[in-house]
């Protein structure tokens, strides 16, 4: 067997052992009624135990979560919480290197926020709206998830469309939501919908909004990188904080540029970055650049 597959098999085995040990500790703490931990595993264990012991639910609803279901949730959180955010950071850095004026745009805000805030999360995070705009614009065009599978419940459902049109969904009908189509609809995003332009997330200056720094709210259902409704991604806030922290730290003190080939100009290097980004496809689960090493990036410290 190839060494890569051997290492993969060993990693899966070790991950399961870690999960077994962690679950045993959490169940022991819960049964001793002195658990003070607040992590995902403890939350799943407590929720499962409370459901099983509830007097307000019928027997069919009191099953709680099996160990396998708890492990499945932990695995999904690890996969979704790390790969998707890292993917978005990678796309954003390449795009910023290809369009450097947005680096200056973000850096201006970071410096202002650092000067005005006290340095703690509560005071500085809300001020970094341009970092948010970079994240949202990257997710709009290059979001990790390009479609969201859903299914109708056991009963018949009626969808109400435009002009009074109704669509009847039989029970258990599978539906795939085309996220890319929603995120590039010219009716919502304008004629330049395929252009990566983070400043589109702010209303233009006007009498009502003279600063030009008012963050827009897209129509409901038109921007769903974390899905929507009761099954919205629970890691949405964590991903936002993580992305903004990375962008503010990097762009506050550094500038990112393409590594140029022999005889290549800066403009040609930026064009090559855009071509690398646009040559993306779904690999396994998420959208990724096909050849992410085709053009390298370099960092310059700022005085």
Query: pLDDT (tens digit, 9 = 90+) per residue, 41-73?
Result: 787 887 777 766 655 545 554 456 788 888 877
pLDDT at residue 32, as a whole number: 57
DSSP state of 33: T
Is residue 197 very low, low, confident or very high in pLDDT (cuts 50, 70, 90)? very high
What average pLDDT does range 296-302 have in this prediction? Answer: 95
Rounded-to-integer distance, Cα 185 and Cα 194, Å: 9
**More confident of the two residues 105 and 35:** 105
pLDDT at residue 186, as a whole number: 96
Residue 217's Cβ-count burial label (10 Å; 0-12, 13-18, 19+) is exposed
What average pLDDT does range 184-196 have in this prediction? Answer: 96
Q: Which two tokens stand for residue 266?
A: 């800066």
* Plot region of 202 (φ>0 → left; ψ -120 to 50 → alpha; else → beta): beta
Is residue 231 very low, low, confident or very high in pLDDT (cuts 50, 70, 90)? confident
Rounded-to-integer distance, Cα 269 and Cα 91, Å: 16
**More confident of the two residues 214 and 198:** 198
Rounded-to-integer distance, Cα 264 and Cα 267, Å: 8
Query: pLDDT (tens digit, 9 = 90+) per residue, 109-118?
Result: 999 998 887 7
Rounded-to-integer distance, Cα 271 and Cα 138, Å: 17
Question: How many residues comprise the chain?
Answer: 303
Is residue 35 very low, low, confident or very high in pLDDT (cuts 50, 70, 90)? low
Rounded-to-integer distance, Cα 161 and Cα 290, Å: 37
**More confident of the two residues 53 and 257:** 257
Q: Which two tokens stand for residue 10?
A: 């060993």
Strands 166-169 and 157-160: antiparallel
């Amino acid at each position: 067997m190839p060494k890569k597959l051997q290492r993969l098999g060993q990693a899966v085995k070790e991950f399961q052992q870690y999960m077994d040990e962690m679950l045993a500790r959490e169940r022991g703490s819960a049964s001793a009624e002195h658990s003070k931990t607040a992590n995902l595993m403890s939350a799943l264990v407590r929720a499962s135990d409370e459901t099983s012991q509830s007097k307000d639910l019928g027997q069919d609803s009191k099953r709680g979560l099996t160990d396998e279901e708890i492990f499945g949730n932990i695995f999904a959180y690890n996969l979704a919480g790390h790969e998707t955010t890292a993917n978005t950071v990678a796309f954003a850095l390449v795009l910023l290197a290809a369009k450097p004026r947005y680096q200056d745009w973000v850096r201006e805000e970071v410096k202002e926020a650092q000067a005005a805030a006290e340095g703690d999360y509560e005071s500085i995070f809300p001020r970094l709206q341009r970092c948010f705009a970079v994240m949202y614009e990257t997710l709009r065009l290059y979001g990790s998830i390009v479609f969201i599978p859903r299914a109708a419940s056991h009963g018949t459902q009626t969808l109400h469309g435009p002009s009074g049109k109704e669509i009847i969904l039989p029970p258990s009908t599978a539906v795939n939501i085309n996220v890319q189509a929603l995120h590039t609809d010219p009716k919502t995003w304008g004629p330049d919908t395929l252009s990566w332009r983070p400043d589109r997330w702010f209303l233009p200056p006007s009498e009502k909004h003279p600063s030009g720094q008012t963050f827009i709210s897209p129509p409901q259902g038109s921007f769903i990188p974390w899905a929507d409704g009761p099954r919205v991604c629970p890691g949405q806030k964590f991903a936002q904080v993580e992305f903004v922290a990375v962008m503010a730290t990097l762009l506050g003190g550094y500038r990112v540029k393409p590594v140029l080939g022999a005889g290549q100009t800066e403009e040609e290097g930026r064009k090559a970055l855009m071509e690398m980004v646009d040559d993306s496809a779904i690999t396994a689960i998420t959208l990724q650049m096909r050849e992410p090493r085709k053009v390298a990036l370099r960092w310059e410290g700022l005085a």
